[in-house]
Amino acid sequence: MQMFSMLKDGFPELNIPAIDPFIIEKAKYQIKSDDFQIRVVLKNMVVLGSSQTNIQDVNFEKSNNLIFMKTHSEIPSMNVTGSYKAEMTVSETTSYYGGNFRVELYDIVSVHEFDAELIDDGDRKIVKLLKFDVSPTIGKMNMKAAGFDPDPTINSMLVQMANDYWQQFYKFLVPETKKYWEPIMLEISNRFLSVIAFDSVLDES
């Protein structure tokens, strides 16, 4: 399972972009609770570290031309940089924020589940992913950001608060972020798999 390292720089001739760094031009998130609402727009995000993915184990099932695969992976660290604009409403008071950010993630453990089908492509068979689901957990997160408050001291206090309670924010953010990068990774993976013949390595019995 060396696909992640092989895709690090991408394959321009196959229209496969690099995954490390992985670029997300724009994403929108919304966090709601009974006490507050936060809307965030992130731009020009650069994600570093995905090519360090280490696949720990693979569970593979095949029924006729349908394939199910489940893997566990580890990534030592990832860095995400970009800019943000945020709108936070508490009761009837709305505040606006904006600036640059950097997020450092450590000890990322993920469960990947793939639904796929084996299809004929001329004189060979290839795998086409139908569904791609990732459930990541993070051991540690550290964020640096500007724009929470014009006063540097208050800004630092707010950033520290976010770092102290990152696990609570993470629970809100994961479902919101997956809807952006899962479809992109599904498309990239299928482009990569479309040029690899699997009939020589899959058991057809």
Q: What is the pLDDT of residues 124-158, one digit of tens each?
A: 888 888 888 888 888 999 999 998 888 889 889 88
Query: Class for domain 2-203, per CATH?
Result: alpha beta
3-state secondary structure string across 167-198: HHHHHHHHHHHHHHHHHHHHHHHHHHHCCCCC
Q: What is the pLDDT of residues 40-83, one digit of tens each?
A: 898 999 999 988 888 888 888 888 889 898 888 899 999 999 99
**192 is written with which tokens?**
């990569």
The phi, psi pair for 172, rounded to 5°, reads -75, -40
Could you tell me whether strands 36-48 and 66-90 are parallel, antiparallel, or unpaired per DSSP bridges? antiparallel
CA distance 139 to 105: 8
Assign 3-state DSSP to the chain and report helix, strand, coil percentages, each to 5: 25, 55, 20
CA distance 96 to 100: 14
> What confidence tier does 3 reach under pLDDT thresholds 50, 70, 90?
low
pTM of the model: 0.76
pLDDT reading at 31 higher than 80: no
**95 is written with which tokens?**
């505040």
**Structural domain boundaries of the chain?**
2-203
Q: What is the mean pLDDT of the chain?
A: 82
